[in-house]
Amino acid sequence: MKTQELLFLSLNLCILPFTEKEKDPKYWNAGAQMTLKNALTLQTLNKNKAENLILFLGDGMGVPTVTAARILKGQLSGQSGEETQLEMDKFPFVSLAKTYNTNAQVPDSAGTATAYLCGVKANEGTVGVSAAAVRSQCNTTEGNEVTSILRWAKDAGKSVGIVTTTRVNHATPSAAYAHSVDRDWYSDNEMPAEALQAGCKDIARQLFENIPNIDVIMGGGRKYMFPKNRSDVEYPGVAKHSGTRKDGRDLVQEWIDKTKDKKGHYVWNKKQLLSLNPNNVDYLLGLFEPGDLPYDLERNSETDPSLTEMVEVAIKILRKNPSGFYLLVEGGRIDHGHHEGKAKQALHEAVEMDRAIGRASLLTSIHDTLTIVTADHSHMFNFGGYTPRGNTIFGLAPMLSDADQKPFTSILYGNGPGYKLVNGARENVSTIDYQENNYQAQAAVPLSMETHGGEDVAVFAKGPMAHLLHGVHEQNYIPHVMAYAGCIGQNREHCLSRSGTAGLHPVLSTIATLFTVTRLLC
């Protein structure tokens, strides 16, 4: 069957109700044949040099979260959901990453961030240091620092950026620039006196001192940048949002003073951000909340930018550099939603990150931009219960429990705050609003905070050298692939080809020549 005929058949089948079109074997055969033809085009590998490198990190976005977010995305647009494609689903190469920390079977976000940003596995709770460093022991920092791909990119002349929905000094972004034996040392206020006396620096301070001139920084965490008790610009008089720094420094003003003659701009709300002309901005610091940004479902669309909006501005600023850019984007509150047992919050965060992935795709090209989407770890989140096709992802399973004769939601957690007994028995979910935004799904084991999961996470890749992400790998492999594709860090020798493509490493070329000569001689 010709490609045009397949396309025509697919389009005609798509206008039928899904229950009807899917009864026809031609629907499934045509779809599979189109997928096969697309797969065959991937036999010609993209070996271009990646001028631009983008890493989208869905914090806590395990495979069950990806699947549930796909269904939610479709249902938000009036579809059944299961057949929907996420933007990340369209990436041609997918692999699995093993997420364990050097000292933890089930990891945390700090040790994993060190892996996928710095290229080495590390202990839980530490960022930007090797496994030789011990959590909270300041004297194990020096000599055990490891640098990140953001640093490698900056040293190679690229522009670099960080965009997150959490605090900019939270675990994920901090591994890009900081070397800290404790992820919780957000400012000097959170550090023990002995650590300060021993010379360890808080993470907020390291953001501005370790890697000079990070081009774009956007997220939350304002309070860690200002002197203790300094009233917040957005929430004046609210003590919990006031400055925390004991050293009296105003890190934001210091940044403004340093960049004012370099087209630097500081913004703290959406209006200020979107009023900027990226062509007139070389450095951007955007701190939109004292702590983490609000969940997307609770976001004030007038004052708080979405992740998609932040990503668009970041790329438009960074792409002006003819040497290209590196951008780290974190959908950080997927993780927070799961920890709180609030699956609806978590899944809407994942859908918003997928929108941001789509926007980035429109602003870049697969010919010169390597884009990777992955997670740092999973969660004790899942959904099941033999739900019928099109069942709302937040809905009930179609049967009662045969143990307690009560209904249950499809979404459940293995542990967490959703464990609840009423009169000594499991709560009857039909008596409450289980589709409310902050509903805490039932959990098997009671915990104040749900935990991470230990299974492998998916790694989606497209663009130059994306084919190197295949099979099952250690998580720390990811930045090595990105560095190789971008000809930065320790992987540069293969980039000496003048053709503009990433050529063979000289050693590999020699081996190939030897094999050819051997075959001729035999």
Residues with a known catalytic role: 109
Q: Tell me how far apart the alpha carbons of residues 339 and 341 are, in angstroms, rounded to a whole number.
A: 5
**Is 480 assigned a ligand-binding role in the annotation?**
no
296, 260 Cβ separation under 8 angstroms? no
**Is 330 assigned a ligand-binding role in the annotation?**
yes
323, 305 Cβ separation under 8 angstroms? no
Of 106, 128, 102, nearest to 117 by C-alpha is: 128
**Is 470 assigned a ligand-binding role in the annotation?**
no
What the block records as the tokens of 353 is 């990150």
State the angle between helix axes of 109-118 and 478-486 in degrees (0 to 180), rounded to the nearest 10. 30
Alpha helix ranges (H) inside 282-340 = 307-318, 333-339
**Is 387 assigned a ligand-binding role in the annotation?**
no
What the block records as the tokens of 262 is 């370099």
What the block records as the tokens of 227 is 């002197």
What the block records as the tokens of 485 is 């594709």
**Is 172 assigned a ligand-binding role in the annotation?**
yes
In this structure, the dihedral spanned by the alpha carbons of residues 37, 38, 41 and 47, taken in order and rounded to 10 degrees, is -170
**Is 335 assigned a ligand-binding role in the annotation?**
yes
Neighbours of 428 (CB within 10 A): 13
**Is 170 assigned a ligand-binding role in the annotation?**
yes
DSSP string, 151-179: HHHHHTT-EEEEEEEEETTSHHHHTTT--
Where residue 248 falls (left for φ over 0; alpha for ψ -120 to 50; beta otherwise) is: left
**Is 467 assigned a ligand-binding role in the annotation?**
no
Of 93, 99, 88, nearest to 121 by C-alpha is: 99
Q: Which residues of 467-481 are buried (b: 16+ CB within 10 A; e: fewer)?
A: bbbeeebbbbbbbbb
Q: Tell me how far apart the alpha carbons of residues 407 and 399 are, in angstroms, rounded to a whole number.
A: 7
Of 362, 478, 500, nearest to 93 by C-alpha is: 478
**Is 379 assigned a ligand-binding role in the annotation?**
no
Interior angle at CA 413, CA 61 and CA 183, nearest 5: 50
In this structure, the dihedral spanned by the alpha carbons of residues 466, 82, 61 and 311, taken in order and rounded to 10 degrees, is 70
Binding site for Mg(2+): which residues?
59, 170, 172, 330
Binding site: which residues?
59, 170, 172, 330, 335, 339, 376-377, 452
Binding site for Zn(2+): which residues?
59, 335, 339, 376-377, 452
